[in-house]
Amino acid sequence: MKTLFILITTCFTGIMNFSGIETADLQRNCNSELSVEKNRSFKSADQDGTSFALVLENNSESTKTYNLSVKNLSTSCSNKASDLNKAASQNVNLDVLVLANDTFMTESNTVILGSGESLKFNVNVRVPDGTPFKTWSCIEVKAASEQCGSDSLKTILSVYVPNPSEG
């Protein structure tokens, strides 16, 4: 009985240690960062639109393939500024384009970055005709690495559509 207990304990400890190593390897090999330059994730956009500068960095030890995507969110951005304007109860959908190296990239764009490499890109936002004023749009930018499974990098861009006659 004592031998069985020692055997089970040894196996359990070995499994736990293996899982810890696997988790540490995953963190080291999936170490990436998606950020908005100068932390400027809040902007206003008139009829000329606005642009956000973002950086995707591969800080892992190997080459990674990322799928970049953008999506207008229907839920609140959870920003305090949007809480001040109760009239804007829902987000508005804006036109969003992703640009890198002056090349248009579609929503299903694929980017390959080697270890230590980074990609600077812009997310351009345009306000379509007929968009209500004094409203917010929340845009999710996501970089999903094929090698890291469900560990996607995400950031939220908040865009305010002001009334041009009040500016």
| Architecture in CATH of 32-166 | Sandwich (2.60)
**11 or 63: which carries more pLDDT confidence?**
63
Residues 6+ apart with CB under 8 A from 65: 110, 111, 112, 145, 146, 147
106-137 pLDDT, tens digit per residue, is 555 888 899 999 999 999 999 999 999 999 99
28-65 pLDDT, tens digit per residue, is 578 999 999 999 999 999 989 999 999 999 999 999 99
Rounded Cα–Cα distance for residues 157 and 123 (Å)? 9
What pLDDT, on the 0 to 100 scale, is given for residue 143?
Answer: 95
pTM here is 0.76
Element holding 25 (H helix, E strand): helix 2-29
Q: Which amino acid is at 24?
A: A
**30 or 27: which carries more pLDDT confidence?**
30
Per-residue pLDDT at 166 exceeds 70:
yes
Structure tokens belonging to residue 155: 């950031």
73-97 pLDDT, tens digit per residue, is 998 876 655 555 555 457 999 999 9
Rounded Cα–Cα distance for residues 131 and 129 (Å)? 6
Rounded Cα–Cα distance for residues 8 and 45 (Å)? 63
Query: CA of 41: how far to CAs of 52, 122, 123, 158, 160, in Å?
Result: 7, 12, 11, 6, 11
